Amino acid sequence: MKCNAQYRVLIPAVIACVGLHALPVAAADSDDRASVLVASIQSNPNGQSYGHWAADWWQWALGIPAATNPLTDTTGAHCGQRQVGDVWFLGGRILSTDPVVRVCQIPSTTSLFFPLINTGFAAFLNDPPEQRTEAFVRAHSACTEPVEISVWIDGRDVRRPERFFTGASGSQSPFFTIQMPTGNVLGAGEADIPELVLTPTAEQGYYLFVRPLSAGTHTIQWIASGCTSGGFQDITYHLTVAGEREER
C-alpha cells in the first residue's frame, strides 16, 4: 500500500475574510431565498452538488505545481491560478497550520467554493485490488475527529458551518481521479506515485459555496480544527470584487 500518511493530504479551510456590504449573511436554510449568500448543502449551486464541487476542488488544488500553487501561497499572488468559469476556488494551507492572510481580486458575478477543513485519501495505480475498493478508500478518507469551525464573512458569522459536510450525511463526493504535475505540492515523483495519478480518490470535509459578492472589498475568515488529528486552519482572504463592465 503506497497511499501512506505522506499523501493523505489535509487541506483545511479556505482563505477568506470578506466584506459583504449590503449582502446579508443568511443561514443556508433561510426562508428568505433572496438573502441567501451561502448555498444550502442540499442544493446544486451552479449546476452540481457540494460533493461534486469538492471533487473538482481537489483536482484543482493538487493539479497546480507547488511554485504557483494557491495552497502554498502566503500572499494571494497566485489565487487566480487555473480558475475558470463562474466559480472560483479558494484554499487553506497545505502541510502547515500557520495562519495566512491573502489578498485576491476576483471577477464580478463569481461564486466562491472552498474547504473549511478537509482530508482525502488516494490509491495508486499499482496498489493491490483490495486497496482500490470504494469501501477501503472511503474508510481511509474519512474525518475521524470532531470539528470546531468558525467562519466570518465581512465580520458576520455563518451559522453552524458543520452542516456543510461532504460525508454520507451531507453531500457525499463521488470517486475522482487527480493528475498531478511534476513539481507538485506533495513533492512526489513517478517513482513515488506511478504516472503521478491518484485514483480512485475520495475525500471528506466541510466546505462553503458562497454566491457572488457585491462589487467592492470583502473579507472572509475561518478558523477550523479537527477532522484529522492535529488538523487546524486559520485563514483570511481580503477580496476585491471587480465592478461589472459597462455596456457600450
In a domain, 246, yes or no: no
Q: DSSP per residue over the chain, as a string?
A: ----GGGS-B-------B--TT-----TT-S-GGG--BPPTTS-GGGS-HHHHHHHHHHHHHTS-GGG-TTT-SSSTTTTTT--TTEEE----SS----EEEEEEE-TT-EEEEEEEEEEEE--TTS-GGGSSHHHHHHHTS--EEEEEEEEETTEEPS-GGG-B-STTS-PPPPEEEEPPTT-TT---TTTSGGGEEEEEEEEEEEEEEPPPPSEEEEEEEEEEEESTT-EEEEEEEEEEPPPPPP-
In a domain, 247, yes or no: no
Share of the chain above pLDDT 90, in %: 80
Longest dimension (CA), the chain: 61
Q: What is the mean pLDDT of residues 85-107?
A: 95
pLDDT over threshold 70, residue 23: no
Which carries the bigger pLDDT value, residue 180 or residue 37? 180
pTM confidence score:
0.86
Closest to 116 in 3D by CA, of 210, 11, 17, 241: 11
Which carries the bigger pLDDT value, residue 151 or residue 36? 151
Number of domains in the chain: 1
pLDDT over threshold 50, residue 88: yes
Q: What is the mean pLDDT of residues 125-141?
A: 96
Residue 244's pLDDT is 62
Note the pLDDT tens digit of each residue in 157-172. 999 999 999 999 999 9
> 2-16, 43-57, 93-107: which range is least confident on average?
2-16
Residue 243's pLDDT is 80
In a domain, 248, yes or no: no
Per-residue pLDDT band at 96 (split at 50, 70, 90): confident
Q: What is the mean pLDDT of residues 205-210?
A: 97
pLDDT over threshold 50, residue 33: no
In a domain, 83, yes or no: yes
What's the grid cell of residue 156? 458576520
pLDDT over threshold 60, residue 37: yes
What residue numbers bound the domain in which 97 lies? Answer: 5-241
Note the pLDDT tens digit of each residue in 2-11. 333 333 443 3
Per-residue pLDDT band at 36 (split at 50, 70, 90): low
pLDDT over threshold 70, residue 91: yes
pLDDT over threshold 50, residue 54: yes
In a domain, 214, yes or no: yes
